[in-house]
Amino acid sequence: METIIDEAVAAMIKGQTLSLDEVQEDQTYSGCTLTVSNEDIQLSGVTFVNCAFAQTDFRGGEWLDCTVKGSRFLTADFTGSVMYRCRFEGCQLMGADFTRSTWRDVTVQDCQATYLILAEAKLKNVQFVDTKLTESSFQAASIVKPGLKISGGDVTGADFSDAKLAQVNLAKTHFDSLLFTPALLQGLKINQFQAAVIAGSLGADIVAE
């Protein structure tokens, strides 16, 4: 077992500066600086740990079985990208734009994702765990079973307008306000305290007994 661990550590690429074009499948990169790619982004089985990405344009990229930890993607453009079986952990995703992207089996944990944009995205089996999503946008997103689950963190001010919420579970997160289309609210999973917020936004007067 010790030999296997030593080999895995030895195989890890640490502290190097290289282009995304040079990134290899099923490899782990730690503390590296990734310069701008000259090709379309196509990554598979790659793990990035505390890496710095010089690139901000990831439009139309394909990320399969990738794990990204401790990286910054502030206002990066991922429009039309594909994320399958990926995980973001401890990342900064504030203002990152995933408009019309496709997410399947994706987990985002312990991230800062204020103003994250997933408008018109296709979401299937997506989880946000302990992630700040205030003022984020899921406008007109297509959310299919097993859907979208948000636990921990905060989604106050998030925009779910024009999105069907039957496959959305917000019962274990926090919000003081939410934007949504009333006709598409049916099936949304919330707790009793959140129900009062929703009812209030629909014009109901909550009366204490």
Q: Is 50 a domain residue?
A: no
Task: Evaluate the CA torsion angle 94, 92, 181, 191 in order and state its sign.
Answer: negative
Whether 117 and 143 share a structural domain: yes
Mean pLDDT for 73-91 is 98
Whether 74 and 174 share a structural domain: yes
Q: Is 30 a domain residue?
A: yes
Establish whether the linkage from the previous residue to 146 is cis, with ω within 30° of 0: yes
Whether 25 and 61 share a structural domain: no
Rounded to 5 degrees, φ, ψ at 129 are: -120, 125
Q: With 70 as the cut, is the pLDDT of residue 144 above it?
A: yes
- C-beta of residue 71 within 8 angstroms of C-beta of residue 93: no
In this predicted structure, what is the pLDDT of residue 10? 45
Q: Is 207 a domain residue?
A: no
Q: Is 49 a domain residue?
A: no
Residue 148 confidence class, pLDDT cut points 50, 70, 90: very high
In this predicted structure, what is the pLDDT of residue 116? 98
In this predicted structure, what is the pLDDT of residue 206? 64
Q: With 60 as the cut, is the pLDDT of residue 5 above it?
A: no
Whether 109 and 177 share a structural domain: yes
The SS3 of residue 77 is strand
Our count of domains for the chain comes to 2
Whether 30 and 87 share a structural domain: no
In this predicted structure, what is the pLDDT of residue 203? 83
Number of Cβ within 10 Å of residue 54's Cβ equals 12
pLDDT tens string 22-59: 999 999 999 999 999 988 899 999 999 999 999 999 99
Range of the structural domain that residue 142 is part of: 56-201
